[in-house]
Every structure is written in C-alpha cells, then in structure tokens.
Amino acid sequence: MSKMKLGVNIDHVAVLREARRVNDPEILQALFVACGSGADQITIHLREDRRHIQDVDAKNIIQNSSVPVNLECSINTNILNIVCKLRPHRATLVPEKREEVTTEGGLDVFGYEEEIRYSVEQLHDSIIPVSLFVDPTLLAMEKSRELGAEMVELHTGTFANLFAMLHSSLPYSNHSVKELELPRYELSERLEKSIEDIKNAAKHAKKIGLEVAAGHGLNYHNVHEMMKIEEIIELNIGQSIIARSVFSGLADAVKEMKRLTTRS
C-alpha cells in the first residue's frame, strides 16, 4: 500500500480569530504545531470573501511552512493573480459561493470548462501544479485530465454525511431532512454506493495518470473507509481536527487560567 499524506486544513483556526478580529489564536502557531505533530501538508483556502485566511496569512504560511502548502482557491481572476504571486506548492481549484457555510460539492468541470482550463493554464504558467476538487464520478475524472490538472481531490461530503446519519450520534452537516427520514437500510445502501463511487473514481483517476486526494467531512470515525482505497494518496482534513483540539486542550487552558486567577 502506498503511503498516505495528511494535509491539515488550518482555516478553522482563522475562523475563530476572525470572530473577534484579534490575533488570537495565532495562525502561525497552528502551522508550527501541525507541522511539528506530523502533518505532511498544510491546506488553506483563500476565499474571495476572506472570511478566515487573509492574504497576509497565506503569505506567512507559505514562507514559514516546513511542509508543502496546498492553497485552495476559486477560479476568480483576482484570486488567481494573487495565488500566482504567492507561489504555493500546489493550488486546488474549488467552487465558491458567498452564502455557503463551507465548500458544497465539487467543481462544475462541465459548466465552467473553459474558465477552469484557463485557470489551470495560468497556474501552470507560474509553475504551480493544479488539483481540481471534484465529485467522485468517472466523467469528472476524464474531464479533469483533459483540463490539464495533475491531481484531483475527491469530494467526500456525501459519504461523510451518510456515514454520520447512519451513526446518528456523530456530527454531520449539510444533510437534508428528507435523507434523515430514509429507512436505515436505504441510508446504508446509499453509504455503500458513495464509497463505491469514491473507489471507482480513484481507480479511474489513477489509471489515466492523475494523482488522487480526498477530503471534506472526514473525521476520526469515518477516515478508516478512505484508508482502504489505495489509489488515494492524500487526505485533507480540517474541521474534525480543530474541533478535537478544543477538547484535548480545553482542560489545560482552564487549569492555567485558574492558576493565574487564584489568590493564595
């Protein structure tokens, strides 16, 4: 089996910082802790609305990271110009909608074919390899190859949601109430199909010369399913790692403040 690379998405640390507009928690500290704890890659998303990572964060992270930085971005011209100047180790093109809570679904590689082709060329001109964040379908693999990408990142959101619905005490997002009303056997069938789709897409992508990553909604409960798919060589994970870190760190944080606020 090939080695799996873990890309740690640290956007969520910037979400917390931006909620108060202070420099706490510090994004560079998150970078150093993640790198020092085994992350093989750092993933960040420079969104058009700058709701978390800012331009200066991207610059500092790329300059200071001891591991490759995978910069996610949309196909917006202004953003692409910035990304070309930042020169990350790789750019991952993702769809972006202003009103979304997080990236919902893969890139529409058919609807925006020409725009994506142009974006890939622009990034290649700046010697930046490109990954496309796409839904796990054979047609999307074919199209990604044709558009000139070196890599695809398979969107695992559908799988993650179905997995969480079946194990209902687990966190999930983006579910529809309609799906929650489905009988368990049907949820189970859909989950199996979502895993098959990822498997088939990964196999096909590798066969036609694409590297394969996967991400979105992966967590401590469901990640083992992705580990079984040997064509997947990289996972990008954010929310669950940062969420876990709150509880693995909260006790110490409270104890330290209690110590500082105790009068003898």
Number of H helices, E strands in the chain: 11, 8
Phi, psi of 167, rounded to the nearest 5 degrees: -110, 75
Count of residues that bind ligand PXP according to CB under 6 A: 19
How many angstroms separate the Cα of 133 from the Cα of each of 11, 30, 92, 252? 17, 24, 7, 37
Distance between CA 208 and CA 226 in Å, rounded? Answer: 20
Under the binding rule (CB under 6 A), the answer on residue 106 touching ligand PXP is no
Q: Which stretch binds ligand PXP (CB under 6 A): 77-85, 111-119, 212-220, 250-258?
A: 212-220
Q: Is 89 a catalytic residue?
A: no
Annotated active-site residue in 12, 45, 52, 155: 45
- 236 binding ligand PXP? (CB under 6 A): yes
| Residue 129 interacts with ligand PXP (CB under 6 A): yes or no | no
225 binds ligand PXP (CB under 6 A): no
Backbone CA torsion sign across 156, 161, 162, 164: positive
Q: Are 161 and 217 in contact (CB under 8 A)?
A: yes
Q: Which is nearer to ligand PXP, 94 or 116 (CB)?
A: 94
Q: Is 90 in the site for ligand PXP (CB under 6 A)?
A: no
Q: Is 120 helix (H, G, I), strand (E, B) or coil?
A: helix
The β-bridge relationship of strands 5-9 and 234-237 is: parallel
Stretch that binds ligand PXP, among 16-24, 53-61, 109-117, 231-239 (CB under 6 A): 231-239
Exactly one of 52, 72, 96, 155 is catalytic; which is it?
72
Give the C-alpha separation, 245 to 238, whole Å: 11
Between the two ends of the chain, the Cα-to-Cα distance in Å is: 58
Catalytic residue status for 96: no
CB of 258 to ligand PXP, least distance (A): 31
| Contact by Cβ (8 Å): 152, 205 | yes
Choose which of 58, 71, 72, 164 interacts with ligand PXP (CB under 6 A): 72
- Residue span binding ligand PXP (CB under 6 A) among the ranges 24-32, 56-64, 204-212, 213-221: 213-221
The closest alpha carbon to 205, from 149, 158, 122, belongs to 149
The b-or-e profile of 152-188 (16+ CB within 10 A means b, else e) is bbbbbbbbbbbbbbeeeeeebeeeeeeeeeeeeeebe
Is 133 an interacting residue with respect to ligand PXP (CB under 6 A)?
A: yes
Check binding of 53 to ligand PXP (CB under 6 A).
Answer: no
If the CB atoms of residues 65 and 92 are measured against ligand PXP, the closer one turns out to be 92
Residue of 216, 225, 231, 234 with catalytic role: 216
Decide: is 45 part of the binding site for ligand PXP (CB under 6 A).
Answer: yes
Among this protein's residues, is 72 annotated catalytic? yes
| Contacts to ligand PXP by CB under 6 A | 9, 11, 45, 72, 92, 94, 102-103, 133, 153, 215-218, 236-240
Positions annotated as catalytic residues are 45, 72, 216
